[in-house]
Structure 1
Amino acid sequence: MSSAATGRPSSALRRVLVPLALAQFICSFAGSNMNVMINDISEDLNTTVQGVQVAITLFLLVMAALMIPAGKLTDRYGRKRCLNVGLAVYGLGALLSAVAPGLPLLIIGNSILEGVGTALLIPPVYILTTMLFSNLASRARAFGTINGMGGIGAATGPLIGGLIATAISWRAAFGFQILVILVIIVLSRRYVRDPVPPDPARPFDAVGAVLSAVGLVLVVLGILAADNNIWLMTGLLVAGILVLAWFFSWVRARERAGKEALLSTALFHNRTSNLGLITQNVQWLVLMGISFVVSAFLQVVRGYNAIQTGLILTASTVGLLLSSLAAERLARRYAQRTLILAGFILTIVGIVLFLALVGLSSGVWAFLPGLFLIGLGIGAMLTPSVNIVQSSFPDHLQGEISGLSRSVSNLGSSLGAAIAGTILVAELTRTPQRSYALALIVLAVIGVGGLVATAKLPAAPAPPAAPSPPGGVSAPDLQET
């Protein structure tokens, strides 16, 4: 029986999956591991908690702002080439971060270069997975592996980062990232092949790329400015919304003129995909928001060190691991919509339980049940959300939808850190318990919004209607038939 018939990938595809999953792991790890090193970094670099929060949020924001243009570049320069360039830029950023003498160089290395590298390498991960795993069952399994590794990276970032920071230094955590990047480069060169050749003549909408990036940056910077100046916040948010409106107007004008735009407006005509994108955004917003709030509270208010903070956050890692390991079995028994609904419910219940127990007791144990449920819930819904979005479109739109999907997810991450961090930092020195609870309540309310969006998803999304364009060259030794 063939691998396509059984839904199990060939040995060649399983080897391809290793560097792709590792790439998602290290990028998610980078987005969360600094949370447990807030005190160490701020003291070593003579900066503030808010300064470190800005660096963390800017890293996530750069990813979100550049993910759509980077996804489009894969069609012009090739998926594997973009993956390798992204890995190299990311590695350079990690090296600069490891030797940074102050916050400015840390922002250049971590926030900018690692953010740019991630934006370049993540779209190829999802595009290659969608193109190579043509069987729906094996594609779901592949997305489960990649998103599971992404969730594990985000959840174990505090623990691994805390262990390294406590045993050696926070700088060594960036050394760990460099080592993983080198492993991915070696495995990628050996196993990854691009199933479709690039089209160097394909036009690139540079104006659209600038407008989309600037608009997203202004919106998140506006949220970050909330605790400093309400007028600055309002000005940045309004400017960001106007620039994004200009971007969509620009895109529509190019499409009417018969020119290729950065992002096809047809992507937003699919209701199922739109709802799936909302669930992705909310999932990562809640995950990164909770990670930042809990990490900051444990270190700044409770006085725990990096390893103690990481160990407490391991409760969410355990929950996420359990639901990720069960993802394949759950997908066979339940609809994707059902899994996402269950995930949001578990996450919201986890936040409520978290608040209730911490309010009743000052013991470490009070953090654990809520964190476990949060990890269990988020792990259950990461894979079905991505699969719903990616599978809603044919192969020739995978570059665009992958960039949009990853941009929406990373925008959620940056908004989570910005919203929760802004609430926490703004009130922490005056009423820490209240600000901590307020940040989590806001995240729970946003989670309810994700639950409502999920309830509107169809029980069984239809497959993409449009066929892939002719002329593509497949890789028979890798692609399923």
Structure 2
Amino acid sequence: MVARGVLVPLALAQFVCSFAGSNMTVMIDDISRDLDTTVQGVQSAITIFLLVMAALMIPGGKLTDRYGRKVCLNLGLAVYGVGALLSALAPNLTVLVIGNSILEGIGTALLIPPVYILTTVLFTDGVARARAFGAVNAMGGIGAATGPLIGGLIATTLGWRAAFVFQALVVAVIIVLGRRHLRDPLPADPTRTFDVGGAILSAGGLSLVVLGILLADDDIRLTLVFLAAGALVLLWFFLAGRARERRGREPLLSARLFRDRTANLGLVTQNLEWLVLMGISLVVSTYLQVVRGHNAVQTGLVLTAATIGLLLTSLAAERLAKHHSQRVLVMAGFATTTTGIALFLALSAVSSGTWACLPGLFLIGLGTGAMLTPSVNIVQSSFPERLQGEISGLSRSVSNLGSSLGTAIAGTILVAGLARTPERSYALALTILAVIAAGGLVTAALLPRADKVTRRG
């Protein structure tokens, strides 16, 4: 029986990383004025953070096998904490990029894979693992959803630098709690080799893909060039890894990870979940501020409806797993999210009141919370302990790509002027996201009906 106390540092670690990914957006103007730079400069810092995190997530997961999960977690927290403090003291944009974009990006890539590995190996029972992933994903959802609200409140009352101090304080709490409660049941193996060439190729390929996605708002032709180049580099990475494995040497990612149909479908659902979630977050946040005239704090308060829904189903993951298969839960999540989008569009079309946004957002939160936990559980539970480092890094990279795709697709639709009025542009973006969510429902339906609730040996 694993003590519930181990969940607190793991869930807080996911919270602080998700919070960092969303709270910067409401502080861009304040930061640019204070550092005497441009809005585009601060946006570039956010972009670099995404690139660093995406590039290093797979290598970060692999390093856990060599040095240990808890060691990598603590190292990631330390690097992240230093980056947060450096960002809080930044006198100019260059120092902010070093602290927030580079150090926090490296720290995130080092600490997130151990969170999911430790959750998987410490909770071996399928129902208990569902509860654990539910808590971790709930805190991640809270961090992402309340980032603009908490960030806006902190920036308004104490200044934007205090938001980075807040992150550093949370990191310090995690380190203290981790020393007291966390243990690593998997022994580190310093003899395991590290595929440096594979790490370079994977980092380069993922960076090109993410950069291409982020450039979608500016030049679609440049986006296609970067995406094509990234795909070629990733293909090179896969073929080189397979050749390395055939020679009896350990690759960065084993080809066995891609032979499991259930895990592959689970990865696709993870990608689509985060695509839809982050796309909706961008569209609704922008809609509330541009069309409804809300400020950052008011927007965050409205989005609390989605946070409550996400909390309810995420924290009920253990109970849901006892009565429903993982496949059914993922399908129900996509269906509920799609219904929530439709309800949001319908009520917003007939009323300009804030209340009209709440029922749809609540359903979106319910659906998101219902499917995030089982899809992660499906993927992590499909592999034995010796492959947890690799699959955790791959899983997080796939989710990050989904997040980048969601913001890029939504942002491109909003700035492309495809509709005659701003209101119709937002409606079009949400409609396309609803169609993608429906595609996720179809993908989830292809999952096997029998759950893999325990790891394979």
Which TM-score band applies after superposition, normalised by the shorter structure? over 0.9
Check if 1:181 corresponds to 2:171: yes
1:130 to 117, 120, 124: 120
SS at match of 1:396: helix
Q: Within 5 Å, give how 1:52-71 maps onto structure 2.
A: 52-71=42-61
CA distance in 2, matches of 1:227, 1:135: 45
User: What residue is the counterpart of 1:392 in the other structure?
Assistant: 382
Q: Within 5 Å, give how 1:413-452 maps onto structure 2.
A: 413-427=403-417, 431-452=421-442
Contact 1:162 1:309 in 2 (8 A): no
Contact 2:347 2:357 in 1 (8 A): yes
2:307 to 299, 302, 317: 317
CA distance in 1, matches of 2:392, 2:270: 12
Distance 1:432-1:61 versus aligned 2 partners, 3 A rule: farther
Instruction: Show CA shifts across 1:369-419 (max 9, x none).
Output: 211111111011111111111111111111111111111112212222233
Check if 1:285 corresponds to 2:275: yes
Paired letter, 2:268: I
SS at match of 2:27: helix
- Count the aligned residue pairs: 457
Question: 1:194: how far off?
Answer: 1.9
User: What residue is the counterpart of 2:107 in the other structure?
Assistant: 117
Q: Within 5 Å, give how 1:435-474 maps onto structure 2.
A: 435-462=425-452, 466-467=456-457
Instruction: Show CA shifts across 1:169-220 (max 9, x none).
Output: 2222222111100100111122222222211121101111111111111112
Question: 1:425: how far off?
Answer: 4.4
CA distance in 1, matches of 2:162, 2:455: 49
CA distance in 2, matches of 1:311, 1:168: 19
Distance 1:443-1:49 versus aligned 2 partners, 3 A rule: farther
User: What residue is the counterpart of 1:228 in the other structure?
Assistant: 218
1:363 to 349, 353, 362: 353
Unaligned runs of 5+ in 1: 4-8, 468-481
Instruction: Show CA shifts across 1:74-127 (max 9, x none).
Output: 011111110011001111222233233454443332232212111100111111
Check if 1:346 corresponds to 2:339: no
SS at match of 2:185: coil
Instruction: Show CA shifts across 1:9-51 (max 9, x none).
Output: 3xxx322221111111111111222233344445545666665
User: What residue is the counterpart of 1:87 in the other structure?
Assistant: 77
Moved more, 235-244 or 438-447: 438-447
Structure 1 runs of 4+ with >6 Å offset = none
CA distance in 2, matches of 1:438, 1:60: 26
Q: Within 5 Å, give how 1:254-265 maps onto structure 2.
A: 254-265=244-255
CA distance in 1, matches of 2:426, 2:97: 26
User: What residue is the counterpart of 1:171 in the other structure?
Assistant: 161
Contact 1:57 1:417 in 2 (8 A): no
CA distance in 2, matches of 1:280, 1:127: 17
Paired letter, 2:241: V
Q: RMSD over aligned Cα, in angstroms? A: 2.3
Instruction: Show CA shifts across 1:347-382 (max 9, x none).
Output: 111112222222333322222121111111101111
Check if 1:197 corresponds to 2:197: no
Distance 1:320-1:50 versus aligned 2 partners, 3 A rule: farther
User: What residue is the counterpart of 1:214 in the other structure?
Assistant: 204
Moved more, 314-323 or 289-298: 289-298
Check if 1:335 corresponds to 2:317: no
1:271 to 255, 261, 273: 261
CA distance in 2, matches of 1:445, 1:151: 22
Check if 1:74 corresponds to 2:64: yes
Distance 1:216-1:430 versus aligned 2 partners, 3 A rule: farther
Contact 2:10 2:115 in 1 (8 A): yes
Distance 1:149-1:164 versus aligned 2 partners, 3 A rule: same
SS at match of 1:199: coil
Moved more, 34-43 or 163-172: 34-43
User: TM-score scaled by structure 1?
Assistant: 0.89
Distance 1:49-1:338 versus aligned 2 partners, 3 A rule: farther
SS at match of 1:304: coil
Distance 1:14-1:227 versus aligned 2 partners, 3 A rule: closer
Unaligned runs of 5+ in 2: none
